[in-house]
């Protein structure tokens, strides 16, 4: 793998060159099909049985995170199977090919889709999240094939779309592919992550009373205007206190505390009018439960009660309570035991390679959670780069991490599947 560092960098640069900004409802596909075709050709040339297809969206129509009318048109999924000789376990390598938007594009030092190499890293949109991980798992598979490594069990390379929006690609994989374990090389800083937080998306609609901004303020009780943005600011302070309270809750052994981040505010109708409406958008992260159940309903209840208690302390909001709206896109947390064979195998491999083999948690959600929750496939997150670099301007991944990830994946496949 170390000798193929240049090929690994070239592969990643090629993947970054495809514009695969994630699909949102109503938007056209980008270059997802071209990227999947490129990977299909490479993997087929190494002896894999490759399927590239646009799944029937009916497979996941019942999923709460998938919007009505969703289709995979123009955004195919790929599954490449390297058949084993028999008698071994099947390992799935999974990664998403979509990336988040590049805006503000003017702040990038170089074209986000024309990857550059500098200071020992590859820079470009998706370098870290997660085309770097995809490049590592693909090259690991190719090198094993080229070296004539004969696995006893099957090795499946699976690349999906829509992880950054609906997670629909991962849901399809969970419902159509079978494996004894899986590795998802999201940017975990090469930690072996056995847990991830779930997420919920909330909007808080705040009501005001319109009026001319040029007139003196009057008491709302006598019909005076009420600034919805001011009332939203009152609730923002309440959300700050909620974050502080959640931060003090008992800690998970591998994950950060639950959190609520305000991600957008929309308010106002006209520059000389008191705003009649304001909306606060929030992204909530929450923890898995010891029994494996999804505590989403409890998190929603706690969040709504907190907002309503805060509103009750304000005379206007008490009589005009804010409305909490739960948006599509929530995903459950997931966790597996550190004693799972895939975890212990990867730990042993990393230590054999002279690295720490640290077990940890992934504070964001990833497609591996779908494999755990929907299919019962023990899945670890193990990938190059750091999560806090994902979604940033001038995104990058260290080349040394790419090589280390490919090494870890290849040796884990050999030990887990058998040779």
Instruction: Specify whether 56 is catalytic.
Output: no
Helix (H) or strand (E) holding 160: strand 155-160
List 350's β-bridge partners, or say none.
none
Given the residues 31, 98, 142, 191, select the one marked as catalytic: 98
Contacts of 19 (CB under 8 A, 6+ apart): 30, 31, 113
Contact 173, 158 (CB under 8 A): yes
Q: How far apart are CA 255 and CA 318, in angstroms?
A: 36
As given in the structure block, the two tokens for residue 381 are: 């997150």
Strands 49-53 and 77-82: antiparallel
Residue 67, SS3? coil
Given the residues 154, 163, 164, 401, select the one marked as catalytic: 163
Instruction: Specify whether 335 is catalytic.
Output: no
Q: What angle do CA 392, 127, 334 make, to 5 degrees?
A: 80
Q: How far apart are CA 203 and CA 208, in angstroms?
A: 16
Contact 186, 134 (CB under 8 A): no
Contact 331, 369 (CB under 8 A): yes
- Give catalytic residue positions: 98, 163
């Amino acid at each position: 793998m170390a000798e193929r560092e240049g090929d690994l960098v070239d592969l990643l640069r090629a993947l970054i060159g495809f514009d695969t900004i994630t699909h949102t409802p109503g938007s056209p596909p980008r270059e997802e099909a071209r990227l999947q075709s490129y990977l299909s050709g490479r993997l087929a040339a190494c002896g894999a049985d490759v399927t590239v297809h646009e799944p029937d969206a009916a497979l996941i129509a019942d999923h709460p995170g998938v919007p009505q009318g969703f289709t995979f048109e123009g955004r195919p999924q790929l599954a490449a199977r390297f058949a084993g000789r028999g008698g071994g376990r099947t390992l799935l390598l999974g990664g998403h090919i979509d990336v988040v938007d590049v805006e503000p594009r003017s702040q990038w030092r170089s074209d986000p889709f024309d990857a550059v190499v500098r200071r020992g890293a590859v820079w470009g949109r998706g370098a870290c999240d997660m085309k770097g991980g995809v490049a590592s798992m693909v090259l690991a598979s190719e090198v094993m094939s080229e070296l004539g490594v004969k696995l006893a069990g099957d090795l499946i390379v699976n690349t999906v779309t829509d992880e950054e929006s609906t997670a629909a690609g991962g849901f399809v994989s969970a419902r159509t592919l079978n494996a004894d374990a899986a590795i998802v090389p999201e940017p975990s800083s090469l930690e072996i992550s056995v847990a991830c937080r779930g997420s919920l998306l909330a909007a808080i609609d705040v009501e005001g009373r319109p009026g001319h901004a040029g007139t003196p303020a009057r008491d709302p009780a006598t019909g005076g205007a009420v600034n919805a943005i001011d009332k939203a600011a009152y609730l923002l302070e309440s959300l700050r206190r909620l974050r502080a309270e959640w931060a003090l809750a008992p800690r998970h052994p591998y994950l950060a505390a639950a959190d609520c981040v305000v991600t957008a505010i929309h308010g106002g109708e006209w520059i000389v009018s008191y705003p009649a409406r304001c909306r606060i958008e929030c992204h909530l992260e929450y923890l898995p439960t010891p029994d494996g159940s999804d505590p989403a309903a409890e998190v929603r209840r706690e969040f709504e009660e907190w907002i309503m208690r805060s509103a009750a302390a304000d005379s206007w909001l008490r009589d005009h309570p804010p409305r909490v709206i739960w948006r599509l896109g929530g995903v459950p947390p997931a966790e597996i035991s550190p004693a799972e064979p895939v975890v212990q195998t990867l730990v042993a491999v990393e230590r054999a390679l002279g690295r720490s083999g640290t077990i940890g948690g992934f504070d964001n959600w990833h497609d591996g959670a779908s494999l755990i929750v929907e299919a019962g496939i023990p899945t670890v997150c193990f990938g190059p780069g750091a999560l806090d670099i994902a979604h940033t301007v001038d995104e990058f991944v260290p080349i040394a991490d790419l090589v280390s990830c490919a090494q870890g994946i290849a040796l884990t496949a050999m030990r887990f599947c058998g040779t």
